[in-house]
Structure 1
Amino acid sequence: MLAKVFPIHLEPGNQARAEELVRRFADRGPAREDGTLSFRVYRDPRTPGYLLFVEHFADRAAYDAHTGSAAYKELIAGELADLIVEFVEIDHEMVVGL
């Protein structure tokens, strides 16, 4: 399993727009992808302009299919990317899971 975490800082004033794009993407992309095991996006109510993506994929091929999809290219690499100031991509390996 491949776990990806992305802390994302947005341009000021774009929280609502970014959340709307993520919701649209979830329905068109991850919800339909067999290899996407979970796709969760969190906001910090005390920190406007911030999202935290936490995603789990069956393997690297599933992640590559996810990021190669038309929905990803349009909504994440396209529209959402224009709202991002900074993001970090962090790979994780599970140690314990309950």
Structure 2
Amino acid sequence: MGQITAERVTKMLCKVFPIELKPGMQAEAEAIVAEFAPRGPEVEAGTLSFRVYRDPARADYLLFVEHFADQAAYDAHTGSAAYKELIAGRFAGLIVEFVEIDHELLVSH
């Protein structure tokens, strides 16, 4: 994914998605995300990091935290064939609700 310079850090786009899944869909959602990662984010030059977290105290919930070089990189990510098939396609049918939250980096160590 390359070295992150101070300039790239200050300009990077951070997206956070808390996602409520339909009841009983945790395992299927996690399988889709695991299938998506190597076909999408891992091969996209502008995707700096793609992390998905589960909450051990909360079933049917995932938290996506993603960093992109810029808006164009995010647009390429969401426009990819893998995204359309797996996330906008299969994964979308498993969710109740999600929120897209943009963040700006304040401090990084």
> Considering the TM-score relative to the shorter chain, is it more than 0.5?
yes
Q: Which residue of 1 is the match for residue 23 of structure 2?
A: 12
SS of 1:48's equivalent in the other structure is strand
- Among 64, 81, 94, the residue aligned to 1:70: 81
Task: Give the drift of 1:75.
Answer: 0.3
Residue 81 of structure 2 is aligned to residue 37 of structure 1: no
Gaps of 5+ in 2: 1-11
Identity of aligned residues (%): 74
Q: Which residue of 2 is the match for residue 79 of structure 1?
A: 90
Q: Which residue of 2 is the match for residue 51 of structure 1?
A: 62
Q: Which 4+ stretches in 1 moved above 4 angstroms?
A: none
Q: TM-score, normalised by structure 1?
A: 0.99
Letter in 2 for 1:91: D
SS of 2:92's equivalent in the other structure is helix
Letter in 2 for 1:40: R
Higher radius of gyration, 1 or 2: 2
Task: Give the drift of 1:32.
Answer: 0.2
Q: Which residue of 1 is the match for residue 6 of structure 2?
A: none
Letter in 1 for 2:14: A
